[in-house]
Amino acid sequence: MSGGEGRTRRSSVVARGADRQIVAAVLEPAGGRRRGARRRAVGAGVLIAAVLGAAGCGHGVSRQHTADLLGGQVWPVGSVTVDGTTDGGRFPRPSIITLSDSGATPARAVAGAVDDAVAAGWIPVYARCAGPDDEVVVHVVRRLEEGAVAVATIAAADPAVLRHEGIGVGRPGGQDGPRTVVRISAVSSAPEDLDDDAFIPAVLRDGGPGPGAGIDLDDCLAPAAQEPGAVAPRWIGTPAVLPREGGPLPAR
Amino acid sequence: MAELALAVALVGACVPSAPADQTTAVDVERYQELAADPWIGADDIRVARYRFGSNKLFDDGLASAQRQVTGERTDVLTAEIAAAATVGWWVAGATCDGARAASGGGVSVELVRALADGSSAVATMTVTASDRGPTPMAPAPVAPTPSATSAAAGVGDGATSQIVSVVAEVPHHSHPDPAVPDRVPVDVASLTCLGGSAGGTVGQVGAFERVRDR
């Protein structure tokens, strides 16, 4: 596991640094030994390092690798960050967060982003919406490679709402500002999630999403569904949430 | 330098490590129930766990969400309560948020939902007026349809907007279950800050606080 990674650091440095330490330890024998014994020691050390590496990275996948898998997706486009703590059994997950302006209503702005996501292979599994100017949220999911999965939340709302939620926006709303801000937050599983899928959304467990997991968004996002003055919250499907910080996993 | 290293080592040694059973299958199941709750639609969620660095303190599981809804405060409250009821939440009590409540400030509603393992989740929903002002006019659709045209005409009439915040909690496996009150009808609209005459609190609130006080 990665319990020894320390606090608040980038995983790439952690993984490579740990490997270097192990190899360096193996390649620095006490000295004065014969060549054959040294070879055997090196061979055993490499074997031990390989076993430790496989155990520590969960299915042999490092945190950096899962970050690369997320960053390699066609959608969303953005920088991958892997910041977080490993104190107390917690662990960070790779994530991409983007904010963009739109002149459309929240429902139309989200519909555009969902179209891009679906074209890139993501599957919508949950949507929450109400009236024509209300905040709209859609959850999309996909499998990556080597058992890794990803969840993305697409949300659109008036900029004032996002400020209320503590999310900075580039420009103020109002007459000259954007009508809607679209926020995309994509998070991929961490190596720890590959060892234990306790916190992976149900739709992505057991090789999912299976056939029929996707939802029809017309009841939520189509113009005909946007009734004026509607305040009743509506949703379709089941949420798929994967926070940027995972753990602690239950002891086994 | 050596003294500094020694000091760091001593401080590090004083931080208690997380107990092995800080999170169990019970906590994971409760986490999964909150995560899958479509009314909450959690923006953020965390499993119940040890409060790192503390002296044997544990945090309850938590799921939170925030959304903006167009409508008058009482209408939004009523609609949210009805929506929550469809997935098993029921109102235990509600309270006005002090002096601000009468002028569009917060109204908090405490809801309870039974969990599969017999315990209960408690959610606090707060509805406050948004600071975004009147709803702007919707842009005309590129190819208007009758429904879309009527939708565009229906907004921009100065409708108010509310921020709905939901924080739901489930107890850590080492904590006692919340003291859930008897399930009796609670008329949230009768709160004084909503124009009623029942006072600043109706029903019972604070189930989780009572647990923590033990």
Residues A103 and A185 in one domain: yes
- pLDDT, tens digit only, all 252 positions of chain A: 333 333 433 333 333 333 333 333 333 344 445 556 666 655 555 554 444 444 444 457 899 999 999 999 999 999 999 988 888 999 999 999 999 999 888 999 999 999 999 999 999 999 998 777 788 999 999 999 989 999 999 999 877 655 555 555 444 444 555 679 999 999 999 999 999 999 999 999 999 998 889 999 988 888 766 666 667 788 999 999 999 999 999 997
On the question of pLDDT at B182 being above 70, the answer is yes
Domain span at residue A52 reads 3-61
Residues A44 and A103 in one domain: no
Using CA coordinates, name the residue in chain B closest to A131.
B70
Task: For residues B42 and A239, give the distance between their C-alpha atoms in angstroms, rounded to a whole number.
Answer: 8
pLDDT of residue B55: 86
Using CA coordinates, name the residue in chain A closest to B78.
A232
Minimal CA separation from A196 to chain B, in Å: 11
Residues A175 and A138 in one domain: yes
CB within 8 Å: B138 and A132: yes
In B, residues 122-151, which contact A (CB 8 Å cutoff)?
130-133, 135-136, 138-139, 141, 145, 147-148, 150-151
What are the chain A neighbours of B50 within 8 Å (beta carbons)? Answer: 88, 248
* Average pLDDT value for residue range B149-153: 30
Tell me if B3 is assigned to some domain: no
Tell me if B166 is assigned to some domain: yes
Angle between helix axes A63-71 and A11-26 (nearest 10 degrees) is: 140
CB within 8 Å: B136 and A133: yes
CB within 8 Å: A239 and B38: yes
pLDDT of residue B135: 42
Residues A36 and A78 in one domain: no
Tell me if B15 is assigned to some domain: no
CB within 8 Å: B38 and A238: yes
pLDDT of residue B83: 95
Find out whether B39 and A233 touch, Cβ atoms under 8 Å: yes
Find out whether A98 and B38 touch, Cβ atoms under 8 Å: no
pLDDT of residue B6: 65
* Residues B54-88: tens digit of each pLDDT: 888 999 999 999 988 888 899 999 999 999 999 99
Residues A118 and A23 in one domain: no
Find out whether A241 and A137 touch, Cβ atoms under 8 Å: no
Running DSSP on this structure, what letter comes out for residue A251? P
Tell me if B84 is assigned to some domain: yes
Tell me if B119 is assigned to some domain: yes
Residues A141 and A109 in one domain: yes
Residues A72 and A28 in one domain: no
Tell me if B4 is assigned to some domain: no
B97 — pLDDT class (breaks 50, 70, 90): confident
Task: For residues B7 and B92, give the distance between their C-alpha atoms in angstroms, rounded to a whole number.
Answer: 51
Tell me if A72 is assigned to some domain: yes
pLDDT of residue B13: 59
Find out whether A11 and A82 touch, Cβ atoms under 8 Å: yes
CB within 8 Å: B49 and A248: yes
Using CA coordinates, name the residue in chain A closest to B160.
A229
Q: What is the ipTM of this complex?
A: 0.81
B8 — pLDDT class (breaks 50, 70, 90): low
pLDDT of residue B68: 87
Please report, rounded to a whole number, the percentage of residues in chain B having pLDDT higher than 70: 72
Residues A100 and A135 in one domain: yes
* Average pLDDT value for residue range B125-137: 67
> Domain count of chain B?
1
What distance separates the 2 farthest-apart alpha carbons in chain B? Answer: 79
Residues A75 and A94 in one domain: yes
CB within 8 Å: B35 and A201: yes
Residues A79 and A42 in one domain: no
Residues A159 and A180 in one domain: yes
What are the chain B neighbours of A176 within 8 Å (beta carbons)? Answer: none
Residues A52 and A70 in one domain: no
Nearest to A104 among B67, B135, B139 (CB): B139
Tell me if B40 is assigned to some domain: yes
In B, residues 56-95, which contact A (CB 8 Å cutoff)?
66-71, 75-76, 79-80, 82-83
CB within 8 Å: A226 and B148: yes
Higher-pLDDT residue of A133 and B189 is B189
Instruction: Name, in order, each residue with C-beta under 8 angstroms of A228's C-beta and a sequence gap of 6 or more.
Output: A131, A132, B150, B151, B153, B154, B155
Domain span at residue B58 reads 21-212
CB within 8 Å: A250 and B68: no
> Domain count of chain A?
2
